[in-house]
C-alpha cells in the first residue's frame, strides 16, 4: 500500500453501501474511481477528492466498536465504504496521507485544510472541469438518455428495451399477411432474434411483428417448394442442436412457422439463392436462425429477460440520476435546468409495483381482524402449505393445533381461509376458499375440519353454503382417488352445491379450437354469419364462460343476501380463484378500480397460489397436459361484465389486454413461478420489476382509464370506505359474446363492421331491458363517434318518447336463460336466487340532462344556450392555447373551432364539476371534472367573472337536484 502511495495511486477492493456489492477502487489524479471488475476499462462512478473535506471511520455497533469502514464527506453527499477490519485502518491511513500530502486536504476528524487561496483555486478548477464535462451538448445527450430510459414503460415495436440486444439477424425475409378480403400478400423485411423476443422489421416501416419468447408455443420449419410440405419440428429439449438439413436435399426447409399462445401465427420465408437446386448455404439460413431461438425455451426462471432488464436498467437509472445531479450544479441555462429536473424527478418517482398489495392493509380495509376472524402464523415459513401465503385469516376460535389437523385433511394442506367479508356487520357474510377434503371411498372425516367450517358460519344471518366448482361426476371420480367432497351428514347446517364447471383439459381443448377458428383461412365462414356463429358455438368456449359467470353470480348474490360461502374445486387454485375473484368483483366497487383490480389479482390469484408457470407453459417446450388458459378465461368473464356495465369500471378493456399480454411476456416477475414461495426462492421481488410498476407509471395510466366511469355513491376513492355496490350481470346466452377485440386483434379484417342501424337497435333493446337509461345509452353511442351522428341520436330520442317504456314505468325483470333448467343438485332454489337484471341507471325526468338530443348537442339552438363567446382553451396534449367558440347549456359546456361549426370539438359535463380561478394565464379559470381539469382564459377579468357565475349557477342546480332526489327517496 505504501508503494502505491508513493506512485500516487491507491487501489483495492471495497464494498459500496448503495450497491451492496464489491467494487475495484482506484485512486489517482485526485479522484476515487470504482469499477465492477479489476480489468474493466469503463468506471462505474467516481468521487472528486478535491471537493472532500475529511474521512471518518465507521464503527461496528456493540461494546468492541470495531472499525468496519469509513465515510468520505464530499461536497454533495456522504460516501460510505465497507471492508474488513484489518483493511479498514490501512485504507484510512493511506487516504489521509494521500489527501494531506498530495491534495493538501485534512486527516481523520482533525483535517488540515488548505489555505483559502489554495481552496479557491481548486474550486475554480473543479467548476471549470464540471462545465467542460457537462456542456450544453452533453446535457442534451443526458436528457436524451433519460428519455430513452423512461421510454421502457411505453416502448413501441420500433424501439428496443434497456439491455435488449440482437443475437441473430437475417435480411430479405418475407412475412406472409392477409388483407381485408382474405387475400395473402407478402411483406419484405428483416427477421431478428433478440434476448427478449423475435422481431420482424419491415422495409415499409409499417407492419412490425414482435413476439416475446414466452409467447411462443411451437416452431416448425416447412419446405415451401416440396409437394408434400415436409416439416421439421423443433426438438423437444432443443438438445443444443437444430434440425439436420443435409446438402443436396431437394426439400430444404426455407419457411419458418411460429405459433403463439395468444393465437398469433407468424409465417416467415427465408431467401434462397436458387430454389430449384438448393445448396448447403441456403439451408443454413433457417438452420442458424432456429438455432438461436433456444432462448425462447428457457431452462429456468432465472434465465428470463426480466432479470437482465431490471439489473441493467437500475444501473443506468442510478448513473443518469447521479450525472443529472452533478450537471445541475454547473448552473446551466434555465430551460436545460428545468428539463434536467423534470427528467430526474420522473426517474426518481418510479413506483415499486411490489408494494401494490399488502395482506395486512387489504384485510384491515374489510374490517379484519375482529372478534370473529384473526391472523394466524401457522403457515410461517410455509411449513403448513407451500402454495398458500404466510399470513392467513381464520376463525378466532380455531387453534394452531386444529389448523395443522385440518391441513392434513384438505388436499395439499390448503385449509379454509378467508378472502372477503361483507361490510354489513348485521349480515356478517364471508367468502372462504380451500381445496377438496380427503374423504375417499371410506368416507373419512375430520372433527377439526367440521368444527372449523361451523366456526365460519358463527354470527351470520343466513346459511352456510359449500360451492363445489366441479361437476358432481368429477367430484365422485376424485373420491375414488382418495379425495372427494363434503358429506353433508357430518357437516351440520350446511348446503352443498355443484356448479358443473369443466376442468383444465376441457378449457385447453376449447381454446385451441377457438384459436384455430380465429385465423385468416376462416374468412369465408366469417362472411356467412350464421355458419360462423355455429362454428364459434361448437368450440364450447362461450359455454364455459357462461358457466363461470353463472357460478360467480350465484355466489355473489348469496353473500349479498347474508349467506356465507366456502368455495373449492379439486386443489383450489384454478376454478376457485376464478369464482372467488369474480364474486368479489361483483360485490366490492374497490376491485372495479385500476388499483383495486391489481389487489384482487395479487390476493386471489398470485398470493393463493394459482400455478401460472404450469398453466401458462412458461418453462415447457410444448403445450403439455398442465397447460390451460385459466387466467385468460377469468379475464374473458371480466370483459363480459365490463361490457354489460360500462360505467361501473374505472378501467377499460385495453387494461385487461395489457395484463394478459404480460402474463406471457417474461418482462416482469409478477406472473412467473407457481406460488409466492417459489417467487421468494427465485428472488423475483428483488431482481425483477413488477407489472404494476409499468401499469401505474404516469406515461401509461391514461391509456387504461374508462372515461365513462361513475364512482359508486359519488365517492372519490372506493378504497376509503368498505362498501358493497352489487352489480348483477345477465348470464343468459345472448349476452355472452366473443371478445373480438382480443381474439381478432392480429387479424382485424375478420371483425365484421358494426352497422349503425344494428348498434342503434342494440341500444334501444338495452333501454327496454333495463340495461341503459337514456343518458347512459347516448354515452355508450358517443364512445365511438364514427358509429353515430345527430340523426341517429334524434331517432333514439323519438323512440324513447313514442315507445311505451319510460323511466317511471321501468321495473326490474329477471332475464330469461336459454332454456337450461338447473337440476336440484346443481342449482340454487328459487327462493335463494336474486334478480338477474343489471344495475339500472335511474335518472329522474326533471334532473337528467338530455345529453343525446340533437337539438341541444349538435344544432344548439338559442333556446338552451345560457352563454356563448370566444375563449382561450389550453390543449390536453400539446398544452398550447387556442381560441374556441364556447357555448354553455344547462348541462354541458361545448366548444367549437369556429362559430359557424355544427359539430363541437368537445364537451364538458357540468354534473359534479367544480369551478375555480387559476394562475395559468391572465383572466384564467378552471373547470374541474372527474376525468380532467380544463383551463380556460377570458379576454378581461369581467368576462371571466361572468362565465364563472353562469357555470357556478349550473353546477349549483345539479347539486340541489341531487339533494332533492336523495331526500325524496329517503
Q: How many CB atoms lie within 10 A of CB 882?
A: 13
Q: What angle do CA 755, 758, 763 make, to 5 degrees?
A: 125
Cβ 867 vs Cβ 950: under 8 Å = yes
SS3 (DSSP) at 275: coil
Helix (H, G, I), strand (E, B) or coil at 272: coil
Give the Cα separation of 595 and 599 in Å (integer). 6
Euclidean distance between CA atoms 932 and 707, whole angstroms? 10
Helix and strand counts by DSSP (H, E) for the chain: 30, 29
Q: Residue with C-alpha cell 423485411?
A: 189
Residue 248 has pLDDT above 70, yes or no: no
From CA 886, how far away is CA 927, in angstroms rounded? 13
- Cα dihedral value 850, 855, 860, 862, nearest 10: -100
Residue 572: pLDDT over 70: yes
Strand 494-498 and strand 464-468: pairing? Answer: parallel
Which residue among 52, 518, 569, 888 is the active-site one? 569
For the cut 80, the answer to whether the pLDDT of residue 410 exceeds it is: yes
Q: Are residues 644 and 495 in the same domain?
A: yes
Answer whether residue 44 shows pLDDT above 50. yes
Q: Are residues 757 and 906 in the same domain?
A: no
pLDDT tens-digit map of 112-134? 333 344 344 444 444 555 555 66
Kindly state the DSSP code that residue 219 receives in the 8-state scheme: E
Q: Of the candidates 67, 89, 114, which is a domain's last residue?
A: 114
Asked, for residue 340, whether it belongs to a domain, the answer is: no
Query: Is 175 within the bounds of a domain?
Result: no
Q: Are residues 703 and 672 in the same domain?
A: yes
CA angle 165, 171, 173 (to 5 degrees): 115
Which residues face 198 on adjacent strands? 193, 211
Annotated binding site for substrate: 478-481, 503-504, 569-575
Asked whether 212 and 262 are in contact (CB, 8 A), the reply is no
Quote the CA–CA distance of 166 and 168 in Å, as a whole number: 6
Preceding peptide of 369 cis, ω within 30°: yes
Helix (H, G, I), strand (E, B) or coil at 426: coil
Please identify which residue in the block is written with the cell numbers 437444430: 242
170 pairs with which residues across the strands?
191
Phi and psi, residue 396, nearest 5°: -65, -25
**pLDDT of 829 over the 60 cut:** no
- Closest CA relative to residue 826, chosen from 488, 464, 550: 550
Task: Collapse the DSSP code of 493 into the 3-class scheme (helix H, G, I; strand E, B; otherwise coil) and give the result.
Answer: coil
Of 3-17, 72-86, 606-620, where does the model show the most confidence?
606-620
* Positive/negative CA dihedral, 848, 849, 852, 854: positive
CA end-to-end span of the chain, whole Å? 86
Tell whether 703 is covered by a domain.
yes
For residue 317, tell me if it sits in a domain: no
Indicate if the pLDDT at residue 675 is higher than 60: yes
Sign, CA torsion 394/397/399/404: negative
Residue 30, number of CB atoms within 10 A of its CB: 20
Residues 319 and 304: their CA atoms lie apart, in Å, by 24
Shared-domain flag, residues 759 and 624: no
Q: Which of 295, 352, 345 is nearest to 325 (CA)?
A: 345
Distance from C-alpha of 452 to C-alpha of 108, rounded to nearest angstrom: 66
Q: Is the dihedral of CA 890, 896, 899, 903 positive or negative?
A: negative
Q: Are residues 799 and 929 in the same domain?
A: no
Look at residue 492 and tell me if it is in a domain.
Answer: yes
| In a shared domain, residues 724 and 769 | no
Contacts 24+ apart (CB under 8 A), 16-20: 16/80, 16/81, 17/80, 17/81, 17/82, 18/318
Residue 394 — very low, low, confident or very high, per pLDDT cuts 50/70/90?
A: very high
What is the distance between the alpha carbons of residues 114 and 49, in angstroms, rounded to a whole number?
13
Q: Are residues 739 and 758 in the same domain?
A: no
Is residue 815 over pLDDT 70? Answer: no
Note the pLDDT of residue 291: 76
Counting the structural domains of the chain, the total is 4
Answer whether residue 73 is part of any domain.
yes
SS3 of the chain: helix, strand, coil, percent, to 5: 40, 20, 40
- The yes-or-no verdict on residue 753 having pLDDT over 70 is no
When mean pLDDT is compared across 441-450, 584-593, 618-627, 713-722, the lowest value belongs to 713-722
Give the three-class secondary structure for 447: helix
CATH code at position 894:
2.30.29.30
For residue 899, give its domain range.
867-966
Same domain, 914 and 799: no
What separation in angstroms does the CA of 326 have from each of 45, 51, 535? 12, 13, 65
Say whether both 799 and 923 belong to one domain.
no
* Residue 692 placed within a domain: yes
Mean pLDDT of 315-334: 81
Same domain, 687 and 763: no
| 630-656 pLDDT tens trace | 999 999 999 999 999 988 999 999 999
Domain ends where: 72, 95, 114? 114
Residue 849 has pLDDT above 70, yes or no: no
User: pLDDT over 70 for what percent of the chain?
Assistant: 71
- 775-793: average pLDDT: 55
Residues 161/306, Cβ–Cβ less than 8 Å: no
C-alpha 491 chain-centroid distance: 41
Contact in structure between 730 and 765 (CB atoms under 8 Å): no
Q: What are 657's three cell numbers?
A: 389486454
| CA triple 321-327-333, angle to 5 deg | 125
| Residues flagged as binding site | 478-481, 503-504, 569-575
Alpha-carbon distance 63 to 50, whole Å?
Answer: 35
Contact 817, 734 (CB under 8 A): no
Cα–Cα–Cα angle for 426, 430, 436, rounded to 5 degrees: 150
SS3 166: strand
Residues 801 and 665 in one domain: no
> If pLDDT is split at 50, 70 and 90, which confidence band does 35 have?
confident
Residue 938 pLDDT exceeds 70:
yes
Q: In the annotation, is 569 catalytic?
A: yes
Residue closest to 416 by CA, chosen among 504, 491, 475 = 491
For position 243, what pLDDT does the model report?
34
Tell me, yes or no, whether 326 lies in a domain: no
What average pLDDT does range 144-165 have in this prediction? 80
Q: Are residues 717 and 799 both part of a single domain?
A: no
Q: Is the pLDDT of residue 714 over 80?
A: no
Query: Which of 114, 148, 175 is the endpoint of a domain?
Result: 114
Amino acid at each position: 500500500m505504501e508503494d502505491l502511495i508513493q506512485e500516487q495511486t491507491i487501489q483495492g477492493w471495497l464494498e459500496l453501501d448503495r450497491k451492496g456489492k464489491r467494487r475495484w477502487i482506484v485512486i489517482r489524479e485526485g479522484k476515487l474511481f470504482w469499477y465492477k471488475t479489476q480489468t474493466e476499462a469503463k468506471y462505474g462512478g467516481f468521487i472528486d477528492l478535491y471537493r472532500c473535506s475529511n474521512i471518518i471511520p465507521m464503527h461496528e455497533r456493540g461494546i468492541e466498536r470495531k472499525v468496519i469502514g469509513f465515510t468520505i464527506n464530499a461536497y454533495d453527499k456522504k460516501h460510505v465504504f465497507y471492508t474488513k477490519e484489518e483493511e479498514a485502518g490501512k485504507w484510512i491511513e493511506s487516504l489521509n496521507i494521500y489527501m494531506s500530502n498530495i491534495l493538501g486536504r485534512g486527516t481523520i476528524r482533525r483535517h488540515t485544510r488548505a489555505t483559502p487561496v489554495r481552496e479557491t483555486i481548486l474550486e475554480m478548477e473543479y467548476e471549470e472541469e464540471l462545465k467542460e464535462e457537462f456542456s450544453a451538448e452533453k446535457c442534451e445527450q443526458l436528457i436524451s438518455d433519460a428519455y430513452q430510459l423512461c421510454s421502457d414503460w411505453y416502448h413501441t415495436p420500433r424501439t428496443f428495451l434497456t439491455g435488449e440486444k440482437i443475437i441473430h439477424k437475417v435480411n430479405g425475409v418475407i412475412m406472409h399477411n392477409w388483407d381485408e378480403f382474405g387475400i395473402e400478400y407478402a411483406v419484405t423485411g428483416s427477421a431478428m432474434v433478440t434476448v427478449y423476443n423475435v422481431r420482424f422489421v419491415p422495409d415499409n416501416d409499417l407492419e412490425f411483428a414482435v413476439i416475446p419468447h414466452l409467447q411462443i408455443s411451437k416452431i416448425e420449419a416447412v419446405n415451401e417448394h416440396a409437394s408434400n410440405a415436409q416439416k421439421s419440428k423443433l426438438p423437444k429439449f432443443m438438445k443444443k442442436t437444430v434440425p439436420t438439413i443435409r446438402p443436396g436435399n431437394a426439400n430444404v426447409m426455407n419457411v419458418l412457422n411460429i405459433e403463439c399462445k395468444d393465437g398469433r401465427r407468424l409465417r416467415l420465408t427465408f431467401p434462397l439463392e436458387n430454389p430449384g437446386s438448393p445448396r448447403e448455404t441456403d439451408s443454413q439460413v433457417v438452420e442458424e436462425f432456429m438455432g438461436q431461438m433456444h432462448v425462447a425455451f428457457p431452462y429456468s426462471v432465472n434465465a428470463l429477460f426480466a432479470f437482465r432488464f431490471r439489473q441493467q436498467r437500475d444501473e443506468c437509472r442510478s448513473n443518469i440520476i447521479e450525472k443529472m445531479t452533478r450537471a445541475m450544479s454547473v448552473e446551466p441555462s434555465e430551460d436545460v435546468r428545468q428539463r434536467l429536473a423534470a427528467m430526474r424527478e420522473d426517474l426518481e418517482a418510479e413506483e415499486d409495483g411490489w408494494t401494490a398489495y399488502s395482506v395486512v392493509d387489504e384485510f384491515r380495509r374489510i374490517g379484519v381482524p375482529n372478534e370473529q376472524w384473526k391472523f394466524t402464523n401457522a403457515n410461517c415459513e410455509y411449513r403448513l402449505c407451500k402454495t398458500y401465503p404466510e399470513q392467513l385469516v381464520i376463525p378466532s376460535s380455531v387453534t394452531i393445533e386444529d389448523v395443522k389437523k385440518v391441513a392434513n385433511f384438505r388436499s395439499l394442506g390448503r385449509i379454509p381461509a378467508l378472502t372477503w367479508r361483507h361490510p354489513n356487520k348485521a349480515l356478517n357474510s364471508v367468502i372462504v376458499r380451500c381445496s377438496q377434503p380427503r374423504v375417499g371411498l371410506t368416507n373419512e372425516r375430520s372433527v377439526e375440519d367440521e368444527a372449523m367450517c361451523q366456526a365460519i358460519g358463527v354470527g351470520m344471518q343466513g346459511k352456510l353454503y359449500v360451492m363445489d366448482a366441479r361437476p358432481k361426476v368429477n367430484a365422485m371420480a376424485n373420491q375414488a382417488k382418495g379425495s372427494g367432497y363434503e358429506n353433508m351428514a357430518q357437516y351440520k347446517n350446511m348446503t352443498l352445491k355443484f356448479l358443473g364447471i369443466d376442468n383444465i383439459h376441457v378449457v385447453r381443448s376449447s381454446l385451441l379450437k377457438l384459436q384455430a377458428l380465429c385465423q385468416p383461412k376462416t374468412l369465408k365462414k366469417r362472411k356467412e354469419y350464421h355458419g360462423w356463429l355455429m362454428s364459434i358455438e361448437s368450440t364450447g368456449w362461450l359455454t364455459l364462460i357462461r358457466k363461470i359467470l353463472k357460478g360467480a353470480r350465484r355466489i355473489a348474490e348469496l353473500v349479498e343476501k347474508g349467506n356465507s360461502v366456502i368455495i373449492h374445486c379439486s386443489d383450489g387454485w384454478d376454478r376457485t380463484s376464478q369464482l372467488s375473484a369474480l364474486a368479489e368483483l361483483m360485490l366490492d366497487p374497490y376491485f372495479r378500480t385500476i388499483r383495486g383490480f391489481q389487489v384482487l389479482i395479487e390476493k386471489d390469484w398470485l398470493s393463493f397460489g394459482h400455478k401460472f408457470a404450469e398453466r401458462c407453459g412458461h418453462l415447457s417446450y410444448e403445450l403439455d397436459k398442465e397447460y390451460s388458459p385459466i387466467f385468460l378465461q377469468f379475464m374473458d368473464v371480466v370483459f363480459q361484465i365490463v361490457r354489460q356495465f360500462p360505467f361501473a369500471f374505472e378501467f377499460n378493456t385495453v387494461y385487461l389486454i395489457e395484463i394478459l399480454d404480460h402474463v406471457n411476456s417474461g418482462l416482469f416477475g409478477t406472473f412467473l413461478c407457481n406460488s409466492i414461495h417459489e417467487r421468494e426462492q427465485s428472488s423475483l421481488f428483488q431482481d425483477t420489476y413488477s407489472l404494476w410498476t409499468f401499469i401505474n407509471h404516469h406515461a401509461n395510466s391514461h391509456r387504461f382509464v374508462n372515461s365513462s366511469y361513475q364512482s359508486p355513491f359519488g365517492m372519490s376513492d372506493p378504497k376509503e370506505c368498505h362498501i358493497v355496490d352489487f352489480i348483477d350481470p345477465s348470464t343468459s346466452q345472448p349476452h355472452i359474446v366473443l371478445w373480438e377485440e382480443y381474439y381478432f386483434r392480429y387479424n382485424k379484417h375478420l371483425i365484421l363492421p358494426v352497422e349503425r342501424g344494428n348498434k342503434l337497435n342494440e341500444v334501444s333493446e338495452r333501454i327496454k331491458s333495463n340495461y341503459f337509461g337514456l343518458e347512459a345509452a347516448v354515452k355508450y353511442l358517443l364512445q365511438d363517434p364514427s358509429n353515430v351522428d345527430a340523426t341517429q341520436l334524434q331517432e333514439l330520442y323519438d323512440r324513447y318518447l313514442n315507445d311505451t317504456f319510460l323511466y317511471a314505468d321501468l321495473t326490474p325483470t329477471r332475464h330469461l336463460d336459454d332454456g337450461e333448467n338447473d337440476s336440484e343438485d346443481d342449482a340454487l332454489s328459487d327462493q335463494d336466487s336474486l334478480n338477474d337484471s343489471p344495475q339500472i341507471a335511474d335518472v329522474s325526468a326533471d334532473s337528467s340532462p338530455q345529453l343525446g338530443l340533437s337539438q341541444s348537442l349538435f344544432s344548439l339552438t338559442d333556446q338552451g344556450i345560457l352563454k356563448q363567446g370566444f375563449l382561450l382553451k389550453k390543449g390536453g396534449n400539446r398544452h398550447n392555447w387556442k381560441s374556441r367558440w364556447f357555448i354553455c347549456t344547462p348541462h354541458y359546456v361545448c366548444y367549437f373551432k369556429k362559430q359557424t361549426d355544427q359539430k363541437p370539438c368537445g364537451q364538458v359535463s357540468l354534473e359534479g364539476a367544480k369551478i375555480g380561478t387559476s394562475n395559468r394565464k391572465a383572466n384564467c379559470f378552471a373547470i374541474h371534472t372527474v376525468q380532467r381539469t380544463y383551463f380556460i382564459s377570458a379576454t378581461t377579468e369581467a368576462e371571466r367573472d361572468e362565465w364563472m357565475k353562469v357555470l357556478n349557477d349550473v353546477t349549483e342546480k345539479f347539486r340541489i337536484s341531487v339533494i332533492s332526489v336523495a331526500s325524496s327517496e329517503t
